[in-house]
Structure formats: structure tokens, C-alpha cells
């Protein structure tokens, strides 16, 4: 076994690899961009090396910079994690040329399975069923359009060189194909440096089921059973579980044998995942990921194994620790991905500083993020993976709901409300779901919540306490201007708070209660409220614990697992100016202008795409809010823009 391991990655996967390597007695080397200089994986490693600026192409995708870090640190092996260079055959070859062990499959296997078209041709030769589609070399629009027309709509355009939903578009009609192809190719080129695509029939109610395989250099290959990854948004997984609900022994064996045959066909070594799309009793090969998967923890939970340890041992030349006969499924595991994104806005990524982060205890949590860390537009916006394991699926779902209720995030928008809604969704709980579950249930995406009276009271009590503290620490605490006793001439003592929550504004009148606490009045109803410490708030006869996170002028009250943002308004402040008008296109997130589709003087229709913004590994088309004429462009292609800036000015029609 080698003694020093460099992890050519970042975030939660780098932290997860470091934990196993440390347990095995290995010295760990981290690499980092400028944006990650203070990241958790850097703090955890024994040694860390800078490899470039924030942009991945200038840091985590720079092969020579990573090899230089390996030389400088004396590393003997490199683990690529997932994403970035994990499925890059040139990187694997460069490691070998530098005398380093690449913890992954041989370059030939990466190439064979890295191109989806080539991989599907191999599977066809092996007799593995495929989804009808075009997997040829020609990439011109007429050829691909003709193939799509022959297959029949809807079709799916997929990047040949990558995965994770990048470079993927669903096309429902022939007229939409050219624009969808252009967007898929552009996104594929940006994500993988390769704009080749394939076209397949789009199955309308499929399940996404994958098989974890493992092979060594001694000719052994096993299946570590299946994972169901059907709960997705933007063709990316957000919930994975093992075993798959409703999986029969016969189908599990057939899929496992097909996956092993796929691995043997390319002389595979290490951890890999063969992905299938299934409808009813039929399954079709989609692709093989020649790396460790994001969702590998659920396989570890049901098998009791450490797959990273297996990777390291196989890379060192050892045989697989177990045979197929020694492997068995134990219980049920579910993983959810907690993302900084807004489901109600088409899962738009959210950037900002995590002013408060509390992750559940008693379950496995994989994360590379800490409280006060910043989610930047440079990388994937995943905050953490929460993994639960129980004797059966019903118990696992109960543990999942409990864990999600204990999770608190303030500072960015997250998909936490969606995950909570999914955990109790009847179709998901009943195991009768497919990849279209979220699309068919738009109510799952409604993260809005009515602010309960107790949340308003908690905010009011917190603000009143803050005023009292300010009076006690004033320069002249005896000045009448510093008094916070609610005194008014010829009237009962009262303080007034103007609170905005969502689209509503509530005026709260606060009177000191003779027995302590406050009488709070709004909507013509007076209530007695107390803050008993330890996050316990009382309103009348109701008591509950609520966390109140202050980021003036806003408060976030976390009550029953739900965030309620409440802002104190100054009643004497001038009216706020409108930030978005009908004739302005505003950047909703920091990002790079990938493409401008209009020029000054162009006439545009409402809903017409004007430009494409690229951020957090995804493309965001921005459309005209109303018909009009392009009066001015405030940005240029390739330019980095901040959130909230004006990009295009329109004159109304």
C-alpha cells in the first residue's frame, strides 16, 4: 500500500476520501483554488497546495498543476473523486507517466465508456438492450435532426462525453430541435470540452436504476447491488436509495449480470456504475460512469463496506476483499442532496454566506461546508448529503423525515422544503414513482409558507430585546433618548414594530406586561408573549422552540423546521425604488454571459430568450419580460456579471 495520497478534488468528496485515507494510516494531500483556500478539505488534509484561481478550468481541471502538487508533496497516488478530471483518460495517462498511481480504471476503459456513443455500440455487441437512438459520429444539424424525426418525439439530446445532466435537453417537437441542440452542445463543450451528442427516444415514465460494480486486477468482478436514482430535477439526482423499491430477485440478478458483463467488456478495474433506465420489467443500458458515484454512501450502508477503501486497495494491486457470494443486502438506505438552490425559481442556484448551518446528528452526513462558508458561483451548489439507514424502507423514511426536520440553513435559498415534501409524498413513500415525479407535482416546489403567529412573536421579542440591549450599552444610558421603557405622554407605554414577512407587512404594538414579557397586538388581537430562554417562546398558551438567526435588518425564525424570513422596516424611510422594471433584464445570479442572442435595435417578443447566463455548471436562459425593442446591451459575451445588475434595457413596444 502506498503511503501518501493526493486528492484531486474539493468539497464533500475530498473530505470523505480524507477520512478513509486517514483511518488507513495514509498521509493526505489536498489541492485548492483561491476560492477554496480556507475550505474544510484543506483544513482536514495533512498538507495542501494551491493550483490556481477559482474557475475550474484554471485550477481543478489543470492537469499539470495537480501533477506539480503531487511532485512537490511526494504523493505516490492520486484519487480524482468525482467530476472534474475523474473520467479524463489523459489525466490517468499523465499520472502513470509521472510514476503516480491513478485510483481509478485504466485509461482504455475510461475512453471506451466515456463516449456514450461508443459505449452503446459496445453494449449492443454484448447483447445489452438499448434505448432506440442515434449514436453515430456525424454531428451536423441535418443528420441529428433527421435521426430525431425518425426516432419520434419526444427525444433526449445527451452530451456524449459527460453526465450529471450537463449538455442534456428534452425536445418535444421538431421545431424546437435546432435551438435545443445548440444549447446542449454549448453546455457540453463548457462542461467537458467536447460538444458531441447523441439522440435517444425519451421514455415518459422511466425509473433510473444503476448497478454498482467493482473489479480488481486479478480478474474478479462483483455487483454491489442496485440504487434507485429516479427522483431528479434538471436530469440530476437529488434522492437515491438502495435497494430499489419493488426490485425483484430475478430483475436484480439480470441487471447485475448485465453490469458485470459491461465491466468485463472493457477490462474494467476499480469502482464503476452501470446506469439503466427501466420501465416495467424491461431495462435499457444508458451509460457507465467510470468513477465513484455521488450516491455511493447508500451502497456502503446496505453492504457495510467502505468503497473508498476498496478503491485504494485495488489501486495498490490487492484483490477484492469479498466475493459475490459473500455480499448481501442489509436493510434500506436513502440519501438526499441538500443544495443551495431555489426550487420555486426552476432550481436557480443560490449564492451567499451560510450565516447559520445546523446538520442533523445520529445519521451519516457528508459535507465539505461549514457555517460561515460562502457558496460561490464557481462550483456545484451542494451543501451536504444526508444518509439514513434502517432495517426497512418505512423506518428509513421515518428517519429521513426526522433528520430533515433537524436541518437548519440560513443565508441562501435551499431545496430543504422540497426534500421535506418529497419524504412524505404518497407516491414516493409508496415506491410508485419515476423520474417525472417532481415535474408532475408542481405543488412540491412551492416553498412559501404562511408566517405563523408564534414566528412573528419570536421575531418581535428578539427585536425588543435587541433594543433593550442597545439602551444598556448606549454612550449615555441615562439619557431619555436611550430609554426603552415604552413611555409615552398621557398614554400607556408602547413600542411599535413594522415587520415584513413575505408579501405582507404587519404592525405590532408592544406593551410591557406587568408580570414580565410583553403584550403584543396586531390584527386587533392582543397576545401575551414571553421568551423563556433556550429558544423557548410562548404566545398565550402555546409554547414552542424556535431558532432566531439575526442578520440585520432581517431575522430568520426557524420554527418546526421551516424558515420564516422577517424584516424590520423603518416607518420613516422613503419608499423603496423598484429594482426590476418591465423593460429591464436583470442577472438573477452571479455568472458568465455565455451567449448574447440579440443586438441593439432588435424587436423581441415576450418570453423570447435574449441571452444565456452560465453559473454553477448550468445554463440559465433569460427571456424578455415584455415585447419591445432592445435599447441597449449592458454586458458582453464572456463577461462575468454580479447578481442584480442590468444586462439588457428594452423599450416597450
80 CB contacts (<8 Å, ≥6 apart)?
8, 9, 86, 88, 91, 102, 103, 104, 291
State the catalytic residue, choosing from 169, 291, 420, 527: 291
Question: Residue 447 in 3-state DSSP?
Answer: coil
Q: Is 117 inside any structural domain?
A: no
Specify whether 65 is located in the same domain as 169. no
* Beta-sheet pairing, 609-615 with 408-410: unpaired
Q: Which three cell numbers stand for residue 459?
A: 421575531
Three-state helix/strand/coil letters over 192-210: HCCCCEEEEECCCCCEEEE
Rg (CA), the chain: 28
State the average pLDDT over residues 247-273.
95
User: Residue 459 is part of which domain span?
Assistant: 453-471+491-569
Specify whether 331 is located in the same domain as 429. yes
Task: Report the C-alpha gap between 367 and 469 in whole angstroms.
Answer: 36
Confidence of residue 485 (pLDDT cuts 50, 70, 90): low
Specify whether 597 is located in the same domain as 644. yes
State the average pLDDT over residues 289-296.
96
- What CATH number did the domain enclosing 237 receive? 3.30.470.20
Q: Which of 65-79, 261-275, 402-416, 530-544 has the lowest mean pLDDT?
A: 530-544
Q: Above pLDDT 70, what percent of the chain? A: 95
Specify whether 213 is located in the same domain as 195. no
Q: Which of 127-136, 160-169, 241-250 has the lowest mean pLDDT?
A: 160-169
Q: Is 646 inside any structural domain?
A: yes
Specify whether 90 is located in the same domain as 229. no
Which contacts (CB < 8 Å, 24+ apart) does range 274-278 have? 274/210, 274/211, 274/213, 275/208, 275/209, 275/210, 276/208, 276/209, 276/210, 276/211, 277/131, 277/203, 277/206, 277/207, 277/208, 277/209, 278/206, 278/207, 278/208, 278/209
State the average pLDDT over residues 7-21.
98
Specify whether 526 is located in the same domain as 610. no
- Please check the confidence at residue 50 and state whether its pLDDT lies above 70: yes
Kind plus residue range of the DSSP H or E element containing 390? strand 382-390
Of the two residues 50 and 594, the one the predictor is more confident about is 50
Q: Is 484 inside any structural domain?
A: no
Q: Is 112 inside any structural domain?
A: no
- Please check the confidence at residue 577 and state whether its pLDDT lies above 60: no
Number of domains in the chain: 5
Give the end of a domain, one of 181, 201, 221. Answer: 201
Specify whether 215 is located in the same domain as 193. no
Evaluate whether 339 touches 238 at the Cβ level (below 8 Å).
yes
- Please check the confidence at residue 578 and state whether its pLDDT lies above 70: no
Q: Is 165 inside any structural domain?
A: yes
Q: Which of 143-152, 298-307, 474-483 has the lowest mean pLDDT?
A: 474-483
Specify whether 460 is located in the same domain as 405. no
pLDDT confidence of residue 217? 98
Specify whether 591 is located in the same domain as 559. no
- Please check the confidence at residue 581 and state whether its pLDDT lies above 60: no
Of the two residues 164 and 365, the one the predictor is more confident about is 365
* Integer CA distances (angstroms), 37 to 40, 56, 91, in order: 9, 14, 23
State the average pLDDT over residues 559-565.
90
Specify whether 213 is located in the same domain as 347. yes
pLDDT confidence of residue 579? 38
Task: Report the C-alpha gap between 97 and 77 in whole angstroms.
Answer: 12
Our answer to whether residue 291 is catalytic in this structure is: yes
Residues in the chain: 653
Question: Residue 117 in 3-state DSSP?
Answer: helix
Average pLDDT, the chain: 91
- Please check the confidence at residue 514 and state whether its pLDDT lies above 60: yes
pLDDT confidence of residue 1? 94
Q: Is 113 inside any structural domain?
A: no
- Please check the confidence at residue 162 and state whether its pLDDT lies above 80: no
Evaluate whether 449 touches 564 at the Cβ level (below 8 Å).
yes
- What CATH number did the domain enclosing 588 receive? 2.40.50.100
- What CATH number did the domain enclosing 176 receive? 3.30.1490.20
- Please check the confidence at residue 53 and state whether its pLDDT lies above 90: yes
Of the two residues 177 and 166, the one the predictor is more confident about is 177
Q: Is 114 inside any structural domain?
A: no
Q: Which of 116-120, 175-179, 227-231, 624-628 has the lowest mean pLDDT?
A: 116-120
Q: Which of 37-51, 91-105, 553-567 has the lowest mean pLDDT?
A: 553-567
Confidence of residue 388 (pLDDT cuts 50, 70, 90): very high
Specify whether 156 is located in the same domain as 256. no
Task: Report the C-alpha gap between 396 and 403 in whole angstroms.
Answer: 10
Q: Which of 227-231, 299-303, 474-478 has the lowest mean pLDDT?
A: 474-478
pLDDT, tens digit, 9 for 90 and up, residues 64-87: 999 999 999 999 999 999 999 999
- Please check the confidence at residue 115 and state whether its pLDDT lies above 50: yes
Task: Report the C-alpha gap between 78 and 94 in whole angstroms.
Answer: 11
Amino acid at each position: 500500500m502506498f503511503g501518501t495520497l493526493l486528492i484531486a478534488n474539493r468539497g464533500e468528496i475530498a473530505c470523505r476520501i480524507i477520512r478513509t485515507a486517514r483511518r488507513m494510516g495514509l498521509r493526505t494531500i489536498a489541492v485548492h483554488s483561491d476560492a477554496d483556500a480556507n475550505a474544510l478539505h484543506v483544513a482536514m488534509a495533512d498538507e495542501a497546495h494551491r493550483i490556481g484561481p477559482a474557475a475550474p478550468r484554471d485550477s481543478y481541471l489543470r492537469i499539470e498543476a495537480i501533477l506539480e502538487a503531487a511532485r512537490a508533496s511526494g504523493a505516490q497516488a492520486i484519487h480524482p473523486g468525482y467530476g472534474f478530471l475523474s473520467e479524463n483518460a489523459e489525466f490517468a495517462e499523465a499520472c502513470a507517466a509521472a510514476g503516480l498511481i491513478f485510483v481509478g480504471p485504466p485509461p482504455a476503459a475510461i475512453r471506451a465508456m466515456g463516449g456514450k456513443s461508443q459505449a452503446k455500440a459496445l453494449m449492443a455487441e454484448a447483447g445489452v438492450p438499448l434505448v432506440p437512438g442515434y449514436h453515430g459520429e456525424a454531428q451536423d444539424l441535418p443528420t441529428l435532426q433527421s435521426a430525431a424525426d425518425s426516432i419520434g418525439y419526444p427525444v433526449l439530446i445527451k452530451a456524449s462525453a459527460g453526465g450529471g445532466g450537463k449538455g442534456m435537453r428534452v425536445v418535444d417537437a421538431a421545431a424546437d430541435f435546432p435551438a435545443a441542440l445548440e444549447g446542449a452542445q454549448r453546455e457540453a463543450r463548457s462542461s467537458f470540452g467536447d460538444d458531441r451528442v447523441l439522440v435517444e427516444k425519451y421514455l415518459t415514465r422511466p425509473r433510473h436504476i444503476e448497478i454498482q460494480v467493482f473489479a480488481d486486477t486479478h480478474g474478479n468482478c462483483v455487483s454491489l447491488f442496485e440504487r434507485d436514482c429516479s427522483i431528479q430535477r434538471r436530469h440530476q439526482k437529488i434522492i437515491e436509495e438502495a435497494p430499489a423499491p419493488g426490485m425483484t430477485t430475478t430483475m436484480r440478478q439480470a441487471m447485475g449480470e448485465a453490469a458485470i458483463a459491461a465491466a468485463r467488456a472493457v477490462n474494467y478495474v476499480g469502482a464503476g456504475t452501470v446506469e439503466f433506465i427501466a420501465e416495467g420489467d424491461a431495462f435499457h443500458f444508458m451509460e457507465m460512469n467510470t468513477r465513484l458515484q455521488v450516491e455511493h454512501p447508500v451502497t456502503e450502508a446496505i453492504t457495510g463496506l467502505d468503497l473508498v477503501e476498496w478503491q485504494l486497495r485495488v489501486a495498490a494491486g490487492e484483490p477484492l476483499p469479498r466475493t459475490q457470494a459473500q455480499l448481501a443486502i442489509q436493510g434500506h438506505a436513502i440519501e438526499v442532496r441538500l443544495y443551495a438552490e431555489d426550487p420555486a425559481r426552476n432550481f436557480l442556484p443560490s449564492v451567499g454566506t451560510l450565516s447559520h448551518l445546523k446538520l442533523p446528528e445520529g445519521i451519516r452526513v457528508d459535507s465539505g461546508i461549514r457555517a460561515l462558508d460562502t457558496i460561490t458561483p464557481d462550483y456545484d451548489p451542494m451543501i451536504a448529503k444526508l444518509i439514513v439507514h434502517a432495517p426497512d424502507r418505512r423506518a428509513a423514511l421515518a428517519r429521513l423525515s426526522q433528520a430533515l426536520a433537524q436541518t437548519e440553513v440560513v443565508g441562501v435559498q435551499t431545496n430543504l422544503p422540497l426534500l421535506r415534501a418529497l419524504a412524505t409524498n404518497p407516491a414516493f413513500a409508496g415506491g410508485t414513482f419515476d423520474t417525472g415525479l417532481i415535474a408532475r407535482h408542481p405543488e412540491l416546489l412551492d416553498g412559501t409558507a404562511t408566517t405563523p403567529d408564534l414566528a412573528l412573536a419570536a421575531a418581535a421579542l428578539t427585536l425588543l430585546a435587541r433594543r433593550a440591549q442597545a439602551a444598556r450599552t448606549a454612550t449615555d444610558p441615562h439619557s431619555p433618548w436611550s430609554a426603552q421603557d415604552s413611555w409615552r405622554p398621557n398614554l400607556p407605554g408602547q413600542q411599535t414594530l413594522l415587520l415584513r414577512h413575505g408579501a405582507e407587512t404587519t404592525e405590532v404594538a408592544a406593551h410591557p406586561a406587568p408580570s414580565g414579557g410583553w403584550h403584543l397586538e396586531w390584527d386587533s388581537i392582543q397576545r401575551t408573549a414571553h421568551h423563556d430562554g433556550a429558544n423557548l417562546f410562548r404566545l398565550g398558551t402555546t409554547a414552542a422552540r424556535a431558532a432566531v438567526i439575526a442578520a440585520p435588518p432581517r431575522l430568520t425564525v426557524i420554527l418546526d423546521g421551516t424558515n420564516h424570513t422577517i424584516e424590520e422596516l423603518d416607518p420613516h424611510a422613503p419608499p423603496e425604488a423598484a429594482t426590476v422594471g418591465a423593460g429591464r433584464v436583470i442577472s438573477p445570479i452571479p455568472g458568465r454571459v455565455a451567449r448574447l442572442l440579440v443586438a441593439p435595435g432588435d424587436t423581441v417578443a415576450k418570453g423570447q430568450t435574449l441571452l444565456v447566463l452560465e453559473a454553477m455548471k448550468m445554463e440559465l436562459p433569460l427571456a424578455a419580460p415584455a415585447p419591445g425593442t432592445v435599447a441597449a446591451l449592458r454586458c458582453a459575451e464572456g463577461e462575468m456579471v454580479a447578481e442584480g445588475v442590468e444586462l439588457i434595457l428594452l423599450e416597450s413596444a
